[in-house]
Amino acid sequence: MGLIVETKQAPRWQDELYDLLRKANFTQFAYVPDAGHSIMIDRSLKDPGVHSIGLTSEEEGVALVAGTDLGGGRAVLLMQSSGVGNCINMLSLIKGCHFPFLTFVSMRGEFGEGNPWQYAMGQAVEPVLKAMGVICLRAERPEDVVPTASAAITMAYQGGQSVAVLLAQRLIGVKKF
Amino acid sequence: MNPKGKGAAAAEALAPRFKLDRTKVVPALVGRAEDFWIVSGLAGAFWEMAAMTNNGANYYGLGGAMGAACMMGLGLALTRPEKKILVVTGDGELLMSLGSLATIGTINPPNLSILCVDNGHYGETGYQRSHTSLGVDIEKFAQGAGIKMTCTVASEADIPNGARMLREGNATAFVLASVHPADGLKVKASLDGAACRLRFRDAMLAASKPQ
C-alpha cells in the first residue's frame, strides 16, 4: 500500500480526471507508459471495472478506440506528445469513418523543456493533429483540467468529433536533467 | 547464392507453404460467417470477407488504415465479451502492426480469433514479395507474443484443426493460412467506412440488448 503516499503527494487533478472518465463510462484505458499519466495508469491497473491496456506504440490505441466504439463502448488513449507522431496515418480511420475519439496528451518540448530531443514533435503536436481533423484543447492549470476534459468528452461522444486534450508541460511539471 | 536472395531460398525450402487456394481454404476455415462479428484488414481480406458475409452488418472492412485490424478486434472483443470476434487480415497488413500481437498477447481475450491469410505478397499493389516469402514466420511472432493458441494451415489436412481453433478457443486464437499468391473471393462492396460503422454498430447494439 506504499502507493497511497505517492497518491497523496500527487496533484489532485489526475485523480479527478480519472474519476470523471469513469463516470462518463470509459472502461478501456490504453497507453504507452508515461510519467505524466502515471497516476491514471496506476488507477486503471488497480480498477477491476476497466481494462488497462499497455500498448507497444500509440497508433495501436487509435485503432483500439475505434474498435471499442464499434461495440458501443468507450476507450481513451493516454500518450505523450512524441506519441502523437506515431498516430498520424491511423487517424485516417477516425477522420474518414467518423469515429468519436478522445485522447489526453502530456506535453513535452514546450514550457521549460531541457531535452532538445523533445522539441521537434512537441512543437508539431497541434498543427499535425489539426491537419488530421483532431480538435485540440489545452489545459494549463490544475483547475482547467476537469472543465476541459468534460467539454472534450461531450464534443467527442455527443458531438461525434475527435478531440485531444493537451496537458501542458507547465501543468505536469518540467522534468529535470 | 540464389538470385532472389538467401531468404527466398530458405522460404522455398519450406514446402509446402503458399500452396493452398485461398478461395477454398478461407471459407473452409471461417465456416458460417454469421457466427462471428468480423473486422477485416484492407485489400485481399477486405474483398474476401465482403463476399463471404455478402456485405453483412456483422462485417466491418477496412479500406485503409493499414495495421488497424487486430487492435480494432481487441477493442471490440473487450467491449463485447459475449460476442465472438474474428479478425481476418493479410500478411502485409499484419507485418505493419506486429506490436499489436504483443499487446493482444498480454490480455488474450477468449472471444478473439485472428486469421492471417498469408500469401507472401502485397497483392493489392502488384504482388511484390512480402517478408513472409523471404523467411519471416508470423505464427512464431504470435507465439512469441504470448498468444495462447496458434497454428499454421499449410495443407488440407490442417484445415479442421484451424477451423476448430477459430471457433472453440478459451483464449485468443491465431491461425495463419499459408496460401498461393492469387486473388481471393471478391464482390462489389462499398469502401465507405463511416456508413459501415453505423451499420455494424447498430447491428451490434441491437444484438446486445438485454432480452
| Domain annotation for chain B: domains and CATH numbers | 6-207 (3.40.50.970)
Q: How sure is the predictor about A10, in pLDDT bands with cuts at 50, 70 and 90?
A: low
Number of domains in chain A: 1
A175 pLDDT more than 80: no
**Average pLDDT for A93-97:** 97
Q: Across the interface, which of A55, A72, A98 has its CB nearest the CB of B208?
A: A72
Taking CB atoms and an 8 Å limit, are B194 and A89 in contact across chains? no
Specify the pLDDT at position B209: 79
Q: Output b/e per residue, A79-94; b: 16+ Cβ within 10 A.
A: bbbbbbebbebbbbbb
> Which residues of chain A have a CB within 8 Å of the CB of B68?
62-63, 66, 90, 93
**Average pLDDT for A55-79:** 98
Please, how many CA atoms are within 13 Å of residue A81, restricted to the half-sphere of its CB? 25
Taking CB atoms and an 8 Å limit, are B71 and A51 in contact across chains? no
Specify the pLDDT at position A99: 98
Q: How sure is the predictor about B13, in pLDDT bands with cuts at 50, 70 and 90?
A: low
Taking CB atoms and an 8 Å limit, are A67 and B75 in contact across chains? yes
> Which residues of chain B have a CB within 8 Å of the CB of A97?
193-194, 196-197
d(CA A25, CA A28): 9
Contact criterion met (CB below 8 Å) for B135 and B159: no
The single-letter code of the amino acid at A144 is D
Q: Is residue A130 included in any domain, yes or no? A: yes
Residue of B nearest to A93 (CA): B65
Specify the pLDDT at position A98: 97
B169 pLDDT more than 90: no
Specify the pLDDT at position B12: 55
List Cα–Cα distances, B178 to A28, A36, A63, B80, B152, in angstroms.
34, 44, 26, 30, 7
CATH number at residue A28: 3.40.50.970
> Which residues of chain B have a CB within 8 Å of the CB of A50?
none
A3 pLDDT more than 50: no
Q: Which residues pair with A139 in a beta bridge?
A: A167
Q: Evaluate whether ipTM surpasses 0.90.
A: yes
B16 prior amide bond cis, ω within 30:
yes
**B46 contacts chain A (CB < 8 A):** no
> Which residues of chain A have a CB within 8 Å of the CB of B204?
70-72
A44 pLDDT more than 70: yes
Among residues B54, B31, B149, B39, the alpha carbon closest in space to that of B86 is found at B39
Q: Is residue A177 included in any domain, yes or no? A: no
The domain of A16 spans 3-172
